[in-house]
Structure 1
Amino acid sequence: MQHNRFEEPVTVLVGMGLPARIETVMEAYALLQDWPAANRNSAHAIALNACKAGIGGEIDAETVRSTFAAFARRHDILVPDMDALMPAVSTASSSSANTRT
């Protein structure tokens, strides 16, 4: 495994609301570099600095990932982990199916 690859990708909404899987520190850095200047804030600066530190080998990729995910959550572009949601959906489906029979 590369030192700059996330263990789990971070899925964010980009452009016209399309999901994009961010899998590496460099991909997170590129997205943050392209972030509109008018929408940059302290969360952006923290995430960008984390990416720079990750690229420089000063911090590990998982620290960068968690910082980037926090940025995405704060800006409402983080896509929820669908795998984590699926058990809740299937449990709800099976319980409603059981009440109908």
Structure 2
Amino acid sequence: MLAKHFEKPVCVWVGLGFPRQINTVVDAYQFLLDWCGNSPEQKAAMRACKAALAGEVDADTARGVLVAFARKKDILVEDETMPPMATKVSPRHL
């Protein structure tokens, strides 16, 4: 089964400050492939994802390496840094 889910999703900042939720090893691997760069942390996270997909390590081991990569790149969305959801404002209140 390729969709090896993380026990807890990882949320990262992408683009112009938009959060992206990563739920599975495959999501993480695709995110890392799309990431512009070639750092040792990125390579380690990709190796961990490949190992998880091959059944050599569990999904949450790969998650831990992904979290370390995201922290190093300062893109990890920590629970307390997630902005509150915007409330819908009706046009008559503008």
TM-score interval, normalised by the smaller of the two chains: 0.7 to 0.9
Q: Does 1:71 align with 2:69?
A: yes
Q: Residue 8 of structure 2 aligns to a residue in which SS? A: strand
Shift of 1:3: 7.0
Shift of 1:80: 0.5
Identify the residue that residue 98 of structure 1 maps to in structure 2: none
1:11-90 to 2 correspondence within 5 Å?
11-36=11-36, 39-82=37-80
Alpha-carbon distance between aligned partners in 1 of 2:21 and 2:3, rounded to the nearest angstrom: 18
Q: TM-score, normalised by structure 2?
A: 0.79
8 Å CA contact retained: 1:3, 1:60: no
RMSD, aligned CA: 1.4
Structure 1: give runs of 5+ residues left out of the alignment: 83-101
Alpha-carbon distance between aligned partners in 2 of 1:45 and 1:12, rounded to the nearest angstrom: 17
Structure 2: give runs of 5+ residues left out of the alignment: 81-94
More helix by share: 1
Residue identity over aligned pairs, in percent, reads: 47
Residues matched between the structures, number:
79
Report the AA paired with residue 50 of structure 2: K
Report the AA paired with residue 26 of structure 2: M
Alpha-carbon distance between aligned partners in 2 of 1:10 and 1:49, rounded to the nearest angstrom: 17
8 Å CA contact retained: 1:25, 1:65: yes
Q: TM-score, normalised by structure 1?
A: 0.74
1:46-79, Cα deviation, whole Å (9 max, x unpaired): 0000011111111100100000000000000000
Larger Rg: 1
